[in-house]
């Protein structure tokens, strides 16, 4: 799936694209003009499914994974030597880009998905470089979202529950009752309890950080709307916003709470999407946190608005003097980078020290980025996915993703492997959890490039977080599969597990 570095297959685009170079007035009136274009002009040769026709199917996942968007676009634009595929100069760059996206998106729609496996414990997984056994260390969780470890080895887990959100402690393999006194959490569509992070100097100060969706203070939702939200339904029900707090644990109770980020009331919105909200500490003790665009892409380009950004603050929420926009008039001083849609994963490269990020795209175009101080990542102006109002896939002065995914992968939590327990993965492997496709993916990293990718598994559920524990093992927060073919709606709270990957020599 790596676009810039993939090897090129010998398969050509075939003869079916010869007829594409036509005007599109009728197709443009269709609900999906690109699909209509393909069906009307290509399906006669290539068919509309994986079987193909007189020419090979253009939805072949193996072929698409082995070539690049640039080569597909070049074949459409310039033709393919020694085949009937002639140059199609009359198509605009946007039409060519949309057609390329359609091939990749439809390949995901058509492929057969593996059956969901409910029982994870003891499952054997073989990757290219390492075999592991999956070991369940906590079960009977309600949509686990984030994992963090205390210095004594206790595990903290956040849950997005039907009634709100909880913080749980796993101690010596035992899941303790929910921590008392945590903030009231709003659940609606993407909203709920999010990430948990432990202060690097926890042994000295005891601080634990939580992010969650907060209902607008003082707002009382109608009874029907509150019930709908508690059942995990989408739709506009109540104004909410990402909030970040820190507190301490004392006798399984949350105490000494302080706000790190609390939005002004004007930013609370009834849109239930794109809260972002991954937390990570930097090597100098700063807290980085992500906030999604909350469903309004223009927010991501507005420096006076904190939404669609990655932020950097001191551990108490104050602003570091060397942040990139501290002296920019009207800019939110905590902003570290901008132009983000819905950032869901943050991890530090143990070799280069770079900050890597995962981000949900629109209908496709999910991203893996390297986050640089003050950089613009394009959302609201350019995207590798498809979004009404955006016609550009790249823009000068804005950072393209290192890799992107079409069809969607919905990348979530990420972690580099630094442990000696996995010598073949150590320091060069970035693990990326995925909500779509029940997948865990491994990216091989060399400097600022992804040189290879593999799917570790794709049948055990939605992988929300990936963390390397103090014992050197990789831990995963996995939720039951949702959506079509399951008992659960796509965004509903579901049963979940914490799983440890135990290497097999």
Residue with tokens 């042994």: 203
| Residue 274 annotated in active site | yes
CA 6 to chain centroid, in Å, comes to 22
d(CA 407, CA 132): 27
Give one DSSP letter per residue of 130-156, joined into a string. Answer: -EEEEEEEEEEEESEEEEEE-TTS-EE
Spatial contact of 304 and 290, defined as CB atoms under 8 Å apart: no
Inter-CA distances, 185 with 16, 73, 194, 298, 308, Å: 53, 46, 10, 27, 21
CA 455 to chain centroid, in Å, comes to 15
d(CA 37, CA 100): 12
Helix, strand, or coil here: 233?
Answer: coil
Q: H/E element holding 370? A: strand 366-371
Spatial contact of 273 and 189, defined as CB atoms under 8 Å apart: yes
Spatial contact of 122 and 133, defined as CB atoms under 8 Å apart: yes
d(CA 450, CA 469): 24
d(CA 319, CA 306): 14
Spatial contact of 170 and 158, defined as CB atoms under 8 Å apart: no
Q: Which residues pair with 148 in a beta bridge?
A: 156
Annotated active-site residue in 274, 311, 360, 375: 274
Sequence-ordered list of residues with C-beta below 8 angstroms from that of 232, at least 6 positions apart, any chain: 162, 187, 189, 489, 491, 492, 493
Query: The tokens of 54 are what?
Result: 């007189």
Sequence-ordered list of residues with C-beta below 8 angstroms from that of 351, at least 6 positions apart, any chain: 427, 428, 445
Sequence-ordered list of residues with C-beta below 8 angstroms from that of 168, at least 6 positions apart, any chain: 138, 141, 156, 157, 158, 159, 175, 176, 178, 179
Between CA 160 and CA 167, with CA 162 as vertex, the angle to 5 degrees is 35
Active site amino acids: 274
């Amino acid at each position: 799936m790596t676009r810039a570095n993939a090897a090129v297959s010998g398969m050509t685009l075939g003869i079916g694209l010869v007829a594409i170079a036509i005007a599109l007035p009728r197709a443009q009136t269709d609900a999906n003009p690109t699909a209509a274009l393909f069906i009307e002009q290509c399906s006669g040769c290539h068919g509309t499914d994986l079987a193909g026709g007189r020419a090979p199917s253009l939805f072949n996942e193996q072929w698409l994974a082995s070539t690049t968007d640039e080569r597909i676009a070049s074949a459409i634009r310039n033709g393919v030597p020694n085949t009937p595929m002639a140059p199609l100069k009359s198509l605009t760059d946007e039409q060519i880009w949309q057609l390329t996206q359609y091939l990749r998106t439809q390949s995901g729609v058509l492929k057969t998905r593996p059956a969901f496996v409910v029982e994870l414990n003891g499952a054997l997984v073989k990757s290219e470089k390492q075999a592991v056994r999956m070991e369940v260390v906590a079960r009977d969780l309600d949509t686990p979202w984030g994992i963090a470890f205390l210095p004594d080895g206790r595990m903290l887990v956040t849950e997005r529950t039907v009634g709100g959100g909880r913080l749980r402690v796993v101690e010596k393999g035992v899941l303790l009752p929910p921590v008392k006194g945590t903030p009231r959490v709003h659940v609606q569509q993407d909203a709920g309890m999010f990430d948990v992070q432990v202060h690097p100097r926890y042994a000295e100060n005891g601080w634990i950080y939580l992010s969650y969706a907060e209902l607008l203070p003082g707002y009382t939702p109608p009874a029907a709307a509150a019930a709908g939200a508690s059942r995990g339904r989408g739709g506009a029900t109540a104004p909410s916003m990402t909030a970040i707090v820190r507190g301490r644990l004392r006798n399984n109770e949350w105490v000494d709470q302080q706000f790190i980020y609390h939005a002004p009331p004007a930013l609370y919105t009834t849109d239930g999407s794109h809260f972002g909200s991954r937390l990570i500490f930097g090597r100098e003790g700063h807290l980085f946190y992500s906030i999604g665009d909350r469903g309004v892409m223009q927010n991501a380009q507005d420096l006076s608005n904190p939404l669609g950004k990655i932020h950097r603050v001191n551990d108490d929420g104050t602003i570091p003097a060397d942040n990139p926009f501290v002296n920019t008039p009207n800019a939110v001083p905590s902003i570290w980078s901008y132009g983000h849609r819905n950032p869901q994963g943050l991890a530090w490269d143990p070799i280069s020290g770079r900050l890597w990020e995962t981000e949900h795209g629109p209908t496709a175009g999910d991203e893996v980025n390297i986050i640089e101080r003050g950089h613009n990542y394009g959302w609201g102006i350019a995207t590798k996915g498809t979004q009404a109002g955006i016609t550009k896939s790249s823009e000068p002065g804005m950072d393209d993703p290192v890799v992107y995914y079409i069809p969607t992968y919905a990348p979530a939590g990420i972690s580099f492997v630094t442990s000696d327990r996995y010598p073949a993965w150590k320091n060069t492997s970035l693990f990326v959890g995925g909500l779509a496709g029940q997948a865990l993916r491994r990216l091989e990293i060399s400097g600022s490039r992804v040189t290879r990718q593999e799917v570790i598994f794709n049948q055990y559920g939605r992988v929300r977080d990936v963390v390397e524990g103090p014992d050197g093992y990789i831990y995963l927060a996995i939720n039951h599969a949702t959506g079509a073919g399951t008992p659960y709606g796509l965004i509903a709270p579901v049963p979940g597990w914490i799983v440890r990957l135990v290497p097999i020599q």
